[in-house]
């Protein structure tokens, strides 16, 4: 980890290819309205139990929502992301963003990390080496030196907290109620975008759907069942299990 980093974007466009871009609720609405596909990524944990990283307790609790699971309660974190398996639909032939002024928050923040527990590591980013050898000093220790960027990071974290109940309600409306366990994987859904847009317009009406945790590790299954959790290891049909 470098204590002090300089950075200036070279405009290479690599971060706009092969990255599912996390979206706030209102950005997901805009993405859907513009004809884009959203991928829904879900992970869950038990408060002070399986899946909860103790050192990130406050952070993960704030951006998760309680749901009934088995005879107990799980907390789920839901990410709505622009589905970009290849080039982003907004990247033009010159590698320029065609919605630059309206691009999502995360696009404005990259390569900075949103999770306060993940240090910024150039080697885990797509930016070429020269991007880290030019421009103003970006970070010192864990302190972001660009006040505008810091405000965007805070806005993104706040949206995570503000949006989570509505995102869970959308998942429940669309029957997306099987989650992976945090640290063990994600469940990933590609909803029909017409149904997704309808669910987004109805999010005020929250259901009390019961959730299930997708786990293939037998020791973790036993641990979760001791907490009263409902688990499944059946081959997924309507979602993908992306295990770690
Ligand atoms: S919206 Fe624009 S900045 Fe964001 S990934 Fe797509 S092309 Fe890149
Ligand atoms: S990968 Fe880095 S340098 Fe390249 S466009 Fe994205 S932010 Fe800029």
The answer, yes or no, to whether any atom of ligand 2 lies below 6 A from the CB of 97, is no
Report CA(91)–ligand 1 centroid distance (Å): 6
Name which residue sits closest to atom 7 of ligand 2, judged by CA: 9
Confidence at residue 1, expressed as pLDDT on a 0 to 100 scale? 46
Q: Which residues contact 16 (CB under 8 A, 6 or more apart)?
A: 84, 87, 88, 90, 91, 95, 97, 107
Confidence at residue 145, expressed as pLDDT on a 0 to 100 scale? 86
The answer, yes or no, to whether any atom of ligand 2 lies below 6 A from the CB of 225, is no
The answer, yes or no, to whether any atom of ligand 1 lies below 6 A from the CB of 91, is yes
The answer, yes or no, to whether any atom of ligand 2 lies below 6 A from the CB of 104, is no
Domain containing 231 equals 4-243
Confidence at residue 242, expressed as pLDDT on a 0 to 100 scale? 94
Block residue for tokens 């390569």: 111
3-state secondary structure 112-164: CCCCCCCCCCHHHCCCCHHHHHCCCEEEECCEECCHHHHHHHHHHHHHHHHHH
Sign of CA dihedral 89, 121, 106, 48: positive
The one-digit pLDDT tens for each residue of the chain (244 residues) are: 456 789 999 989 899 999 999 999 999 999 999 999 999 999 999 999 999 999 999 999 999 999 999 999 999 999 999 999 999 999 999 989 999 999 999 999 999 999 888 889 999 999 999 999 999 999 887 788 899 999 999 999 999 999 999 999 999 999 999 999 999 999 999 999 999 999 998 875 555 678 999 999 999 999 999 999 999 999 998 899 999 8
Q: Which residues contact 168 (CB under 8 A, 6 or more apart)?
A: 65, 67, 76, 78, 206
Confidence at residue 208, expressed as pLDDT on a 0 to 100 scale? 60
Best residue for ligand 2 mutational test, from 104, 110, 123, 132 (most atoms within 8 Å of Cβ):
110
Ligand 2 atom nearest the C-alpha of 13 is 5
Ligand 1 atom nearest the C-alpha of 96 is 7
Distance of alpha carbon 51 from alpha carbon 67, whole angstroms: 15
CA atoms within 13 A on the CB side of 238: 10
Ligand 2 atom nearest the C-alpha of 14 is 1
Q: How many domains does the chain have?
A: 1
197, 33 Cβ separation under 8 angstroms: yes
Best residue for ligand 1 mutational test, from 103, 105, 126 (most atoms within 8 Å of Cβ):
103
Distance of alpha carbon 220 from alpha carbon 2, whole angstroms: 35
CA quadruple 105, 110, 116, 117: dihedral, nearest 10: 140
Distance of alpha carbon 172 from alpha carbon 78, whole angstroms: 11
Confidence at residue 141, expressed as pLDDT on a 0 to 100 scale? 76
Confidence at residue 203, expressed as pLDDT on a 0 to 100 scale? 78
Name which residue sits closest to atom 8 of ligand 1, judged by CA: 16
Sign of CA dihedral 157, 161, 167, 172: positive
């Amino acid at each position: 980890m470098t204590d002090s980093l300089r950075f200036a974007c070279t405009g290479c466009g690599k971060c706009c290819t092969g990255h599912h871009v996390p979206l706030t609720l209102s950005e997901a609405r805009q993405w859907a309205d513009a004809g884009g596909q959203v991928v829904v990524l879900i992970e869950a944990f038990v408060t002070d139990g399986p899946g909860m990283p103790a050192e990130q307790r406050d952070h993960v609790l704030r951006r998760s929502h309680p749901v009934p699971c088995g005879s107990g309660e799980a907390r789920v974190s839901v990410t709505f992301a622009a589905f970009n398996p290849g080039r982003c639909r907004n990247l033009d032939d010159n590698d320029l963003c065609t919605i630059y002024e309206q691009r999502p928050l995360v696009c404005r923040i990259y390569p900075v990390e949103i999770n306060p527990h993940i240090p910024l590591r150039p080697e885990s980013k797509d930016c070429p080496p020269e991007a880290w050898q030019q421009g103003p000093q970006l970070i010192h220790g864990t302190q972001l030196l660009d006040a505008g960027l810091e405000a965007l990071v805070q806005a993104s974290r706040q949206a995570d907290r503000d949006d989570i109940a509505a995102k869970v309600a959308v998942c429940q409306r669309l029957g997306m109620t099987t989650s992976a366990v945090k640290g063990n994987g994600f469940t990933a859904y590609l909803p029909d975008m017409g149904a997704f847009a309808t669910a987004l317009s109805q999010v005020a009406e929250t259901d009390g759907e019961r959730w299930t945790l997708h786990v293939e590790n037998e020791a973790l299954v036993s641990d979760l069942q001791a907490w009263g959790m409902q688990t499944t290891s059946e081959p997924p049909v309507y979602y993908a299990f992306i295990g770690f």
